[in-house]
A = this chain, B = another copy of it.
């Protein structure tokens, strides 16, 4: 039993009934918040002790996390937090541009009043949070906007794919964000995007999304030298992160 588990996941112990879904949510969130860095070992018994359940439940949770590309699960080996390579990061962004662009184009001019209000509220919330320097809250609002787009997608299949891609890009954003860059906030991007959606021009909306995501990707440090991160994660022997 090492140290990270207590600090990161202790809060959950208070919860009454823990199911595999809870574990998935908590771990996913911890990875997203970089409290569980890539390469972190996730042994089944340890996780079970932390959450107060047996390995059966943990195993199911880990399998689902693996299918979400959050952890790496190889036969006879400890599950570890995944460390997507630079190449995969680029490919994930490209896939998301394609899918989210299409979703935006399908959604253009089709938003009902309620959805528009929810989106606008999140956009305002993001700006506010950024204004008062509350980065976690800002990320929360930004993610909410994109998740809302996925949820509202008229094509549910594409919507589900987008949900997955948003998660994966969020993880790599946390991973490859410039260390000195506090925020990945693109002033006004979301606002103009929503305007395009209301306007109803599918191609403008699609391009709006593509541009937004390209700018986001450009904020990351994907230079080849960072490839060492992968090596460290793969070769890393220490039980903590490299």
Contact = CB atoms under 8 A, between A and B. Distances in A.
Interface of A: 59-60, 63-64, 67, 88, 91-92, 94-95, 98-99, 102, 155-158, 161, 168
Contacts of A102: 98
A77 to B, nearest CB: 15
B157 A91 contact: yes
Given A63-B64, A64-B63, A98 B157 contact: no
A88 to B, nearest CB: 7
B60 A95 contact: no
Contacts of A64: 63, 67
Given A63-B60, A64-B67, A67-B67, A155 B91 contact: yes
A161 to B, nearest CB: 6
B63 A94 contact: no
B63 A158 contact: no
Nearest to A98: B102
A227 B155 CA distance: 18
B88 A157 contact: yes
